[in-house]
Amino acid sequence: MSSPIPTQLRHRHAAALRTPPLPCGAHRDPLLHQDAPPAPSSFGLSLRELFAEADRLSARGWSAAEVAERLAVPAT
């Protein structure tokens, strides 16, 4: 019988157990921790990429306030 958990997730979990805990002390895998920056961030994107990501999120139904809360897009 196969496991309901995909192989990739099992491997990721096993790898996370071999790494030091994150600063909170309870999690080792950032995807499980759902870490987010404390303020709007550029996430290392260029200005052009930031605007493209903001447009993509807006097209998916995000409000302007939700986009501004997460992305450090300068006002135009």
pLDDT digits (tens, 9 = 90+) for 4-37: 668 887 887 787 777 777 666 666 666 665 666 7
- Counting the structural domains of the chain, the total is 2
Sequence-distant (≥ 6) Cβ neighbours of residue 22 within 8 angstroms: 28, 30, 33, 35
Judgement on whether residues 70 and 49 belong to the same structural domain of the protein: yes
Look up the domain containing 1 and give its range.
1-35
Q: Are residues 56 and 30 in the same domain?
A: no
Specify the pLDDT at position 2.
64
Q: Given the structure tokens 């450090």, which residue do they identify?
A: 72
CA dist., res. 9 & res. 28, Å (int): 14
Residues 22 and 52 in one domain: no
> Are 42 and 71 part of one and the same domain?
yes
Q: pLDDT at position 51, please?
A: 93
pLDDT digits (tens, 9 = 90+) for 51-65: 999 999 999 999 999
Q: In whole angstroms, give the CA distance from residue 2 to residue 64.
A: 44
Token pair for 65:
């306030």
Please give the pLDDT value at position 12. 76
Tell me: do 28 and 5 sit in the same domain: yes
Residue 41: strand pairing partners: 71
More confident residue, 76 or 1: 76
Does 75 lie in the same domain as 40?
A: yes
Q: Is pLDDT above 80 for 73?
A: yes
Co-location of 22 and 7 in the same domain: yes
Q: What is the CA angle 7-10-11, rounded to 5? A: 85
- The answer to whether the pTM exceeds 0.75 is no
The reply to whether 40 and 76 lie within a common domain is: yes
